[in-house]
Amino acid sequence: MRRTIATVAATAVLAAAPVITQTPRIQVVPHDVAPRVDVIIDGKPFTSYVFERAQKKPFLYPLRTAQGTVVTRGFPIDARAGERTDHPHHTGLWFNYGNVNGLDFWNNSDAIPAARAAKMGTIVHKRVIEVSSGKDKGELNVEMDWIDANGTVLLKEITRMTFAGDATTRTIDRTSRLSALKTPVVLGESKEGLLGIRVARSLEQSSKQADVFTDASGKPAGERRASTEGVTGNYTGSDGKTGDAVWGTRGPWTMLTGTVDSKPVTLAIFDHPSNPGFPAYWHARGYGLFAANNFGQHEFDPSQPERTTTIAPGESITFRHRVMIVDGTADAARMNAENQKFAGQK
């Protein structure tokens, strides 16, 4: 079932018998008023594409398992009790980078002081190109502009997100094409990128680092303290490394396993072999940031030379990633099999 946003066509059909239409399993539904597009699978909410300007970038929020368990942090969008209040730019699932012509798109949020605003970049949602609902998948195609503090467009982004799922899994395939306009765009070294997820508190790894947490009402409690209560997360990389040792490694996939609301969950990110900089470096932090970065090799490994990528005017580069959420604890064998399927897609 397809619906084009720019054009609304009405067709009257006369028939002898009533036409029965079946609701697609996977629905992608633009909201009439709010700045979001909802994704529904088997009648249950999965996620929403949110493009509020205050967050300085569009993102998917929240992410849920097939059973409806939320695996993303609520703060700062919809804070829940006991969450960390660091990094307010970590919202749901997003795509941006920390060094674009020297501008920082990754760390920008409405919490940035005015004195730093000129050094930040913003990704602005321009339009929903098309939505598609269906039995096996749903699609959302969108256009965004990467702009500097003066409103100058540096990059045009066209992204297609494909949503799928069954009784125990949810997947998002994201294909993003970044095109330079009138001037070259240089992607310099930065560990802050590229596809990121901020996970729920219980999927963090155990740490005694002191931080500020939200109170029972979801507000920052104020004092810094250490807490490991209810924390169950553990990273596993495709090379077999686990825990904090995954940070800075390279590979086609990494998974995060843990328990949310007493339910085992696996969250995985896959990097496609067609991507520049494949295989990705894993910016996997114990405090809840789970990110795949196709650039920044010197930042992750100082023994490597600094690397820059230049997009010439009129040229573009494309990135493909997959996010998979599994009800249950997946193992490396399953991740390798899923990676083979994803890597084989053209």
Confidence (pLDDT) at 37: 98
Confidence of residue 8 (pLDDT cuts 50, 70, 90): very low
> Omega of the bond prior to 220 within 30 degrees of 0, cis?
no
Is pLDDT above 80 for 217? Answer: no
> Omega of the bond prior to 194 within 30 degrees of 0, cis?
yes
The answer to the question of residue 112 being in a domain is yes
Alpha-carbon distance 282 to 160, whole Å?
23
Which tens digits make up the pLDDT trace of 130-187? 999 999 999 999 999 999 999 999 999 999 999 999 999 999 999 999 999 999 999 9
Confidence (pLDDT) at 15: 43
Alpha-carbon distance 191 to 102, whole Å?
13
**Residue 313 corresponds to which tokens in the numbers above?**
């005017």
Asked if 168 contacts 193 with a C-beta cutoff of 8 angstroms, the reply is no
Confidence (pLDDT) at 14: 35
Instruction: Domain of residue 148: give its range.
Output: 34-343
The answer to the question of residue 91 being in a domain is yes
Q: Which helix (H) or strand (E) holds 298?
A: helix 297-300
Confidence of residue 12 (pLDDT cuts 50, 70, 90): very low
Is pLDDT above 70 for 101? Answer: yes
Which tens digits make up the pLDDT trace of 250-302? 999 999 999 999 999 999 999 999 999 999 999 999 999 999 999 999 999 99
Q: Please, what is the Cα angle at 131 between 126 and 133, to 5 degrees?
A: 160
The answer to the question of residue 3 being in a domain is no
Confidence (pLDDT) at 213: 79
Q: Is 169 exposed, middle or buried (0-12, 13-18, 19+ CB in 10 A)?
A: middle
Global confidence as pTM: 0.91
Confidence of residue 22 (pLDDT cuts 50, 70, 90): confident
Asked if 243 contacts 236 with a C-beta cutoff of 8 angstroms, the reply is no
The answer to the question of residue 6 being in a domain is no
Averaged pLDDT for residues 301-325: 97
CATH number of the CATH domain containing 273 = 2.70.98
The answer to the question of residue 191 being in a domain is yes
The answer to the question of residue 12 being in a domain is no
The answer to the question of residue 94 being in a domain is yes
| Torsion, CA 220, CA 222, CA 223, CA 228, rounded to 10 | 0
The answer to the question of residue 165 being in a domain is yes
- Number of structural domains (the chain) is 1
Confidence (pLDDT) at 215: 76
